[in-house]
Structure 1
Amino acid sequence: MAARTRAYAVVGLALVAAVTAGCSGTGSGSGSTTSPAGSSSGGGGGQNNAAPTESNPPGDIPDNQAFVAYRPSGGSFTGFTVKVPEGWARTGQGGTTVFTDKLNTVKITAVSAAAPTTGSVTSKVIPQLRSQVPKFAAPKVSEVTRHAGRVVLLTYQGDSAKDPVTGKVVRDAFERYAFYRAGHEVDLTLSGPVNADNVDPWRIVSDSFAWR
């Protein structure tokens, strides 16, 4: 009887050891299975299938940007139209209207003035801008042709205002077109980051200007 009891005890201990070993092996296998699954879902496999990051320089206006006609309805002079990018935020004060989106700006100012020339822009406008635009540089004055006729173009560079959220400052390139007719001057200023490729959008805007 005593021998049979000892035999049962030995068998019981063997079963306990086997169960313990099995549980320990299952835990280890479970851990090793979970780790690769986590890696594949958040690691290289997932990143390879992610959408590509936008590679255009900051400030690029999309190729599919739509444009709409802007016709001033108030102010001292309303006799012109110009196309501006659709959906951009609009602000206005006095004879100036500004359209902005992200890092780009279209600024339109109407004034009563004598006909602008390359000489008057050089002697009067450049000194004004030099005192107003941070780190104003590289001014160049020329006459160019747009659909509205001959206009005086001033190109230059300057720093943008500091972003109120990020505190960042962007180096901007400016194109200022001075359109004139019968005592009325409309200054169209287009600006965006220096590295942005906005040649085509700015040409659309400047070519769209028309007297009414």
Structure 2
Amino acid sequence: MAAHTRTYAVVGLTLVAAVTAGCSGSGSHSGSISPGSGSTAVSGENKPAPTESNPPGDIPDNQVYVSFQPTDGIFTGFTLKVPEGWARTSQGGTTTFTDKLNTVKITAVSASGAPTAGSVTRTVIPRLRAQVPKFASPRASEVTRHAGRVVLLTYQGDSAKDPVTGKVVRDAFERYAFYRAGHEVDLTLSGPVKADNVDPWRIVSDSFTWR
């Protein structure tokens, strides 16, 4: 019986020594990687904001939408639905609705002709490239909404820096160009990349109606 006791004691001491060595070894790997380890430092100055694996920009399924009809600006002959309760700001011919990380932006302008995927590629993309931080992946196409044929431009860009946290979010944009009789209305919907806003953005873009 004494022999068995000694055996258990030796095994126990061996396990304690192994655990202690493992903890000590793991601590030696913490901290920054030393020079010459094969890693390459990358400057973040020209790097887009990272895409979050679980972005907090999903619009709730129970979101309520209300009708919006502009009362001032260059053109007021249209209506569309916007999310209820979002903060509203207006400047010139542009009205913007925002909530957390999502934005609905509506701009009315005069236009000599209907936009096409080609004209948007030639004129709008260069302008946005100069305005949107880390602008990337533009693609113009013609799609159909309830109001008829419309030019859709999708692209990505970095959001403005949060004034409180300083955080920058990688955003996905959908820009719809509606046209009728010399008037163009540009509807831009934006939110974090990978946010599940397909249905809300479809509700808004499909609700556009000429008056």
TM-score normalised to structure 1 length = 0.73
Q: In the alignment, which residue of structure 2 is the partner of 1:127?
A: 126
Opposite residue 94 of structure 2, the aligned amino acid is: T
Percentage of pairs with the same residue: 86
The answer for unaligned runs of 5 or more in structure 2 is 1-52
Note the C-alpha offset of 1:57: 3.1
Q: In the alignment, which residue of structure 1 is the partner of 2:104?
A: 106
Opposite residue 115 of structure 1, the aligned amino acid is: A
Secondary structure of the 2:123 match is: helix
Is 2:113 aligned against 1:79?
Answer: no
- State which structure, 1 or 2, has the greater radius of gyration over its C-alpha atoms: 1
Aligned ranges 1:170-209 → 2 under 5 Å? 170-209=169-208
Q: In the alignment, which residue of structure 2 is the partner of 1:151?
A: 150
Opposite residue 171 of structure 2, the aligned amino acid is: D
Opposite residue 148 of structure 2, the aligned amino acid is: G
- How far apart, CA to CA, are the structure 2 residues paired with 1:127 and 1:76? 24
- How far apart, CA to CA, are the structure 2 residues paired with 1:57 and 1:158? 15
Opposite residue 61 of structure 1, the aligned amino acid is: I
Match of residue 88, structure 1, among 61, 86, 90: 86
- How far apart, CA to CA, are the structure 2 residues paired with 1:106 and 1:132? 17
Aligned ranges 1:154-169 → 2 under 5 Å? 154-169=153-168
Per-residue CA shift, 1:125-154, capped at 9, x if unaligned?
000000000000000010000000000000
Is 2:115 aligned against 1:142?
Answer: no
Opposite residue 160 of structure 1, the aligned amino acid is: S
Note the C-alpha offset of 1:76: 1.4
Opposite residue 163 of structure 2, the aligned amino acid is: P
CA contact (8 A) 2:88 2:98 kept: yes
Q: Which has the higher helix share?
A: 1
Q: In the alignment, which residue of structure 2 is the partner of 1:13?
A: none
The answer for unaligned runs of 5 or more in structure 1 is 1-54
Opposite residue 209 of structure 1, the aligned amino acid is: F
- How far apart, CA to CA, are the structure 2 residues paired with 1:200 and 1:145? 16
Opposite residue 108 of structure 2, the aligned amino acid is: A
CA contact (8 A) 1:141 1:152 kept: yes
- How far apart, CA to CA, are the structure 1 residues paired with 2:63 and 2:151? 27
Note the C-alpha offset of 1:115: 1.2
Secondary structure of the 2:130 match is: helix
Q: In the alignment, which residue of structure 1 is the partner of 2:60?
A: 62
Per-residue CA shift, 1:5-60, capped at 9, x if unaligned?
xxxxxxxxxxxxxxxxxxxxxxxxxxxxxxxxxxxxxxxxxxxxxxxxxx963100
CA contact (8 A) 2:55 2:193 kept: no
Opposite residue 100 of structure 1, the aligned amino acid is: T
- How far apart, CA to CA, are the structure 2 residues paired with 1:209 and 1:65? 18
User: What is the number of equivalent residue pairs in this alignment?
Assistant: 158
- How far apart, CA to CA, are the structure 1 residues paired with 2:156 and 2:74? 30
Per-residue CA shift, 1:152-208, capped at 9, x if unaligned?
000000000000000000000000000000000000000000020000000000000
Aligned ranges 1:5-16 → 2 under 5 Å? none
CA contact (8 A) 1:58 1:195 kept: no
